[in-house]
Structure 1
Amino acid sequence: MRLVRALVINEREDQLARAQVVRQLRALLAAEVRSHGFDPAQQFEQIATRFGPETASMLQLRNQDPVTTAAIARCLKAIEQAATLPENQ
């Protein structure tokens, strides 16, 4: 019984840790988007146009898609690249 309990507790702690990391990564993306003058809660389509649909999708709290480090890296790279483009592109 202790082994089963230990497995369940470890799994629960892993889920909590993952959820915390996802929240922090989304907060980082939201801060980056805000620094470019966009409101992540209100301007989904403008964010998708400027930074790509993956970035806009990742900022949605209801999005349950797995968040990977590769996805975060792609979003941050898209934001970085968009910062070098003129606003009308």
Structure 2
Amino acid sequence: MESCIKLANLYNVKLDDLVNHSEEETGIGVPPKGKFFFGSVVVGERGKIVIPKEARIVFNINAGDKLLILGDEERGLGIVHQRDLINFVGNMGLAMKDE
């Protein structure tokens, strides 16, 4: 077990992914710690998507939360929880006061 933990740390992956990840099932290699592939979603006629349950749990997204959709024509779309952006901006203000 200790060797597995050391290997997971060495390769910067979660221990569970090191042991249980199946590249054949997911079509991707073992993701680094903190990086996720939650699968794909289908965009409905009105532009709605369903965020997978595992993603909602990992990122603490609940019904009624506000998410920001950001876009860059070269890099794609990003979804950010409004509270995270507010916290980020607040922390930037604190950092600027310290200078």
What is the TM-score with the length of structure 1 in the denominator?
Answer: 0.26
**More strand per residue:** 2
Larger Rg: 2
**More helix per residue:** 1
**Quick one: higher RCO (CA 8 Å, sep 6+), 1 or 2?**
1
